[in-house]
Amino acid sequence: MTASPLTNPDVLPCRSIKEIAYSPVLIVAPHPDDETLGCGGAIALLRSLKCDVCVLVISDGTLSHPNSQKYPAPLLQALRESETLEALTMLGVNPNDVTFCGMQDGSISTQYNSAIASCSAYLTEIAPQIIFLPWRYDPHSDHRATSKLIHTALGNLDLSPRIIEYPIWDWDLAQRGNLIESEKVTSWRLDIAAVVELKQQAIACYRSQITNLIDDDSEGFRLTPEMLLNFSRPWEVYLEQE
């Protein structure tokens, strides 16, 4: 095993958006907010260069507050979708280019076989040159299942997009894993200094995830300030399998 590149990200090489400014681009998010947390800077920069950016959100995100009476699952799903559209509009994405799959939060791994056909059809229609995916070894099972779903769908198609992976829960020291030595991974940083304030404003749209908006669920999820700091830097970290 080798150490995660997130152990010392400041030493990773820094790249410009122009190195990945292809079109169309697809951003795939396991939950509503992952796209903005992991790729918000890239999205804003790509849109500033007039690249077509589509976003595919896999799960409905309703497990973040499973016991809320104020926001039962249908209302929470609607809220999280509205937050996503607000954030992505701020980053320059047309709401018509955002697709919500609505798969059950927490159960993507048990549903992805039935979703392969629809994802294959979607990928065929979009024909992305680049796909941003959650890191395949992310500690969260939904993130890993999302990566597997898209890779499986691509295996059925005559498409060869560049795959760029973004970390989310590996930023949490308690959950971070090491790299398997046989894995050949290139890690780098994307300079997002020009849009980092815009990204922070977009993250703030996710009030259900970062504030006490939903206050009637003692088991409700909330991103900690410490975790949010990892997504507020003037760069984003990406990984690519060699």
Which residues, 6 or more positions from 65, have their beta carbon under 8 angstroms from its beta carbon? 71, 76, 208, 214, 217, 219, 220, 221
119 exposure class (CB count in 10 Å sphere: 0-12, 13-18, 19+): buried
pLDDT bracket for residue 181 (50, 70, 90): low
Strands (E), the chain: 14-15, 25-29, 53-59, 98-103, 130-134, 162-166, 185-191, 235-241
pLDDT bracket for residue 113 (50, 70, 90): confident
Residue 189 has pLDDT above 70, yes or no: yes
pLDDT bracket for residue 4 (50, 70, 90): confident
Burial 38-52, CB ≥16 within 10 A → b, else e: bbbbbbbbbbeeebb
pLDDT of residue 2: 77
Mean pLDDT of the chain: 95
pTM for this structure? 0.96
> Of 43-52, 103-112, 184-193, 217-226, where does mean pLDDT reach its minimum?
103-112
Which domains are assigned to the chain?
5-241 (3.40.50.10320)
Report which of 66, 59, 84, 32 is spatially closest to residue 214, judged by C-alpha positions.
66
pLDDT bracket for residue 177 (50, 70, 90): confident
Report which of 238, 164, 162 is spatially closest to residue 5, judged by C-alpha positions.
238
Q: What percent of the chain has a predicted confidence (pLDDT) above 90?
A: 87
Provide the token pair at 50.
Answer: 């007039």
pLDDT of residue 114: 85
pLDDT in tens, 65-103: 999 999 999 999 999 999 999 999 999 999 999 999 999
pLDDT in tens, 137-161: 999 999 999 999 999 999 989 999 9
pLDDT of residue 156: 86
